[in-house]
Amino acid sequence: MEGDPMRYPMRYREAVIEKTLVIVALSAIAVLGLIILFIFKEGSPIMARIGVIRFIAGAKWAPSRGVFGILPMIWGSIWVTLGALIIGVPLGLACAIFLAEMAPARASAILKPAVELLAGIPSVVYGFIGLVVLVPFIRRWFGGPGFSVLAAAIVLGIMILPTIISISFDAFKAVPVAYRDGMLALGATRWQAIRMVILPAARPGIVAAVILGMGRAVGETMAVIMVAGNATKIPSSILAPVRTLTSNIALEMGYAAGEHREALFATGIVLFVVIALLNLTARLFATGGRVAR
């Protein structure tokens, strides 16, 4: 009824809930904005003084002498991230294909949550296992100090598996069943249907999974600190020690002051821009090249 007095309390409660949700959403955006403002405020002065190109392309990091070049850390992040993708992407896609297309429904219902549990393991646990098991293994069978690009890449390759598997699995499940049935009706095998129809149809989701996994690898800190060796020089091989952008910030922020502290915040600016570009790229691929509204 139009004049039913019971409807007014209901409308009032709905209005309160709506306003509360809007405030929560805006507060999250405000917190993100404050973080961005703080990082740029602290890090941009030194980039303005020494120059962005000199800061990014400088091959020497010596804070005690006032020399700030993060090129070794940039190359370290690139090497470690590429190694993690080489290891994690094939394994993740193979696992997602199996769970989505080949595994029995009961097995898939058990294995997928088990895989997702990997994301809940603290990174320090991965780093500790890499330190105790992986580093001595590399030192014994491949040479070098053991703390290396290879060790960090293997650890990160395992850590990005839940991201790649979960998003790729959802992308495969989003492909219409008619695509599979049509190929099978034409006489194709299950693998032919996967290779010729399902993989191309799920490509945007797969690319988004890979890019988000890349962002996860770029942003990881603790596990990399424990197994990478943290040498501030451009690595000459996969067995050489390396330091990433995140490791550089975490290792030195505790005692940094003055220009040194500003340089670490400037490193955070570079890292923030890289992660933001990766997330934007993943979003564009996931929405078919259109910015989601």
Nearest to 163 by CA among 98, 205, 119, 222: 119
* pLDDT given for residue 3 in this prediction: 53
Q: Which residue in the block uniquely carries the two structure tokens 């080949």?
A: 102
- Among the residue ranges 102-106, 168-172, 229-233, the one predicted with the least confidence is 102-106
DSSP letter for each residue of the chain: -TT-TTHHHHHHHHHHHHHHHHHHHHHHHHHHHHHHHHHHHHHHHHHHHH-HHHHHH---EEGGGTEE--HHHHHHHHHHHHHHHHHHHHHHHHHHHIIIIIS-HHHHHHHHHHHHGGGGS-HHHHHHHIIIIIHHHHHHHT-S-S-SHHHHHHHHHHHTHHHHHHHHHHHHHTS-HHHHHHHHHTT--HHHHIIIIIHHHTHHHHHHHHHHHHHHHHH--HHHHHHHB--SS--SSTTS-B--HHHHHHHHTTT--THHHHHHHHHHHHHHHHHHHHHHHHHHHHTTTS---
Supply the Cα-derived Rg of the chain in whole angstroms: 24
- CB hemisphere CA count around 139 (13 angstroms): 14
The string of pLDDT tens digits covering residues 44-94 is 999 999 999 999 999 999 998 989 999 999 999 999 999 999 999 999 999
Beta bridge partners of 62: 67
The string of pLDDT tens digits covering residues 125-139 is 999 999 999 999 999
pLDDT at 290 over 60: no
* pLDDT given for residue 293 in this prediction: 47
Q: Which residue has the higher pLDDT, 9 or 30?
A: 30
pLDDT category, 288, cuts 50, 70, 90? low
Rounded to 5 degrees, φ, ψ at 73 are -70, -35
The string of pLDDT tens digits covering residues 226-272 is 999 999 999 989 999 999 999 999 999 989 888 999 999 999 999 99
Provide the whole-model pTM. 0.86
Gap between the Cα atoms of 165 and 21, Å rounded? 31
* pLDDT given for residue 276 in this prediction: 86
Q: Where are the domains of the chain?
A: 7-50, 61-286
Q: Provide the percentage of residues in the chain whose pLDDT is more than 70.
A: 94
* pLDDT given for residue 286 in this prediction: 66
Gap between the Cα atoms of 244 and 268, Å rounded? 12
Q: Which CATH class is domain 61-286?
A: mainly alpha
